[in-house]
Amino acid sequence: MVSCTEFIPMYSELFKFIDGKGGGHDAVERYWIWVGEKYLRYNLEPLVQEKGMDGAWEYWTRSLSEEACDIKYVYDRDHEEIKSHMRHCPSKGHLLEYTWMEPYYDYCGHCKVLYRQTLEDAGIREEYDHSGVDHAECRGCLYKIANGGPRPGWNTI
């Protein structure tokens, strides 16, 4: 068995393996789309289909806690937005700690692709600010597609 605590380096090596098989980053992105459809049907999909933004809040507050994130996560129910400031992402953080390994160069790219279709099927979209991923920091905003986009200042919490 490989422990779930060893999953992150296994994931990063998977991206490198797929990328190196000739398809490059496009092949990795196809994997992220595939795994989003496959994996999220067991957890995120039923929650957002049934409860919309409340389901997204329920899913991420659990998974972000289990991943021991350092994060501020704010659900503005009046404007149907969930804003996040990941002060230190444990996944990217672990990869940076494993100094003997080289992380996949776009490791954090999976977050942008993995959840996209499942969320859009439930009328939700996410905006990302990945400018700080080199030191394991990022921001995001989930919003209802019907509302047109995130409100100004979403990436300043």
Segment 126 to 145, residues that bind another protein, using CB under 8 A: none
User: Is residue 69 a contact residue for another protein (CB under 8 A)?
Assistant: yes
User: Is residue 39 a contact residue for another protein (CB under 8 A)?
Assistant: yes
**Cα distance between residue 108 and residue 130, in whole Å:** 8
User: Is residue 106 a contact residue for another protein (CB under 8 A)?
Assistant: no
Measuring CA to CA, which residue among 92, 89, 88, 83 is closest to residue 128?
83
User: Is residue 9 a contact residue for another protein (CB under 8 A)?
Assistant: yes
Count of residues that bind another protein according to CB under 8 A: 48
Number of H helices, E strands in the chain: 7, 4
User: Is residue 61 a contact residue for another protein (CB under 8 A)?
Assistant: yes
CB 117 to another protein: min, Å: 15
Residue from 90, 109, 140, 150 in contact with another protein (CB under 8 A):
90
User: Is residue 17 a contact residue for another protein (CB under 8 A)?
Assistant: yes
Contacts of 79 (CB under 8 A, 6+ apart): 147, 151
